[in-house]
Amino acid sequence: MVGHGTWNQPAGTITDDTKQALCIARSLAEHRTFDPADIAERFVAWYDTDPFDIGGMTARSLRRLKRGDAWDEAGQHVWEQSSEGQNAGNGSVMRCPPLAIPSANEWDRLVQVSRESSQITHADPRCTYGCAVLNLTLAGLLDGADTPLRDALDYVGSDAPSELVTALQPVARGESPATLETSGYVVHSLQTALHDGLLAETAEEAIVTAVNRGGDTDTIGAITGAVAGARFGASDLPSRWISAIDETTDLESLSIQLAEM
C-alpha cells in the first residue's frame, strides 16, 4: 500500500499469494466443486505469465506439472527431494482461504480439500495440515465460534504434526509467544499470522502489525488478512485499501459466488 518497495511495484499490486488464491476461487466458482487438476492447470497458466515473485517449492512443483506430473505427484516429488529446512514453506497456506467459504459447514470435507490443495505444490504434512487448521479456523470465525483456533486444533487432533500443534496451542489460548518469527517456514508463518489476526482489535491493526514485522511480509499479511476478514468482515477493511486494488470487483464477485455455494 506504500508502493515501489522490494519488487518496485505500484501501491495496490497483488502478489503471488492473491494470484494463486484467485486461481482457486475462480476454479471453485466455475466448476461449483473442488477440482485439484483444474486448479493445478490454473497455477501453471499463472506461472507462464512470468510472475515477479514466486516461492521456490511452488516454482519447482509447477515445472514438474508442465512436464506431465499429475496434480498429486508434483509436490510430492519436490518434497521428497528437498532437505529439512527447505521442505515446508508457506506457499500453500497463503492461497487456501477461498476453500473455507463453500465448505465452512462440512469440516471433514474442508480438511480433505485443504490438504489436497496443498499437495499440488507442498506435500509436507506441516503444510497440508497447516492449510486444514487455517481453513477450519476461518470456518469457525465465519460461524461465530468463541475459540476457533482451539476448535480447529481439537478437530485435527493427533493426525496433525506435533510441531505445528505445539506452536499454535499458545495462540489458541490467547497467549503471545516470546518470539514471533517471520520466515517462510509454514509453522512460523501460521503462528505469527494467527496471533496477529486473532488478537488485534481491528482488521487494519491486524494486517499492519503483521506486515510491519518484516520478513515474508506478503504471505504473513495474506494469512493474517484472511483471519481478520473472517473475524471482522469486509466492512472493517479500510476503503483507501479497497480502492487501491485493481482486482476488487473480481474479488467481490467471487466472494458472492463462493458464499452461494
**In order along the chain (261 residues), what is the average pLDDT of each group of 10 residues?**
92 96 98 98 98 97 98 98 97 98 98 98 98 98 98 98 98 97 98 98 98 96 98 96 95 96 94
Domain boundaries, the chain: 16-260
Helices (H) and strands (E) in the chain, counts: 13, 0
- How much is the mean pLDDT over the chain? 97
Using an 8 Å Cβ cutoff, are 120 and 71 in contact?
yes
The pLDDT score that the predictor gives to residue 28 is: 98
* Model pLDDT for residues 18-37, shown as the tens digit of each residue: 999 999 999 999 999 999 99
The pLDDT score that the predictor gives to residue 20 is: 98
The pLDDT score that the predictor gives to residue 12 is: 95
* Model pLDDT for residues 70-118, shown as the tens digit of each residue: 999 999 999 999 999 999 999 999 999 999 999 999 999 999 999 999 9
Q: Count CA atoms within 13 Å of residue 66 on its CB side.
A: 12
* Short-list 70, 65, 76, CA closest to 43: 65
The fraction of the chain above a pLDDT of 90, given in percent, is: 98
User: Quick one: CA torsion of 182, 210, 177, 155, rounded to 10 degrees?
Assistant: -90
Which of the listed CATH numbers 1.20.1340.10, 3.90.1580.10, 3.40.50.720, 1.10.4080.10 matches domain 16-260? 1.10.4080.10
- Tell me how far apart the 2 most distant CA atoms of the chain are, in Å: 47
The pLDDT score that the predictor gives to residue 148 is: 98
The pLDDT score that the predictor gives to residue 108 is: 98
89 φ/ψ angles, rounded to the nearest 5 degrees: -80, 175
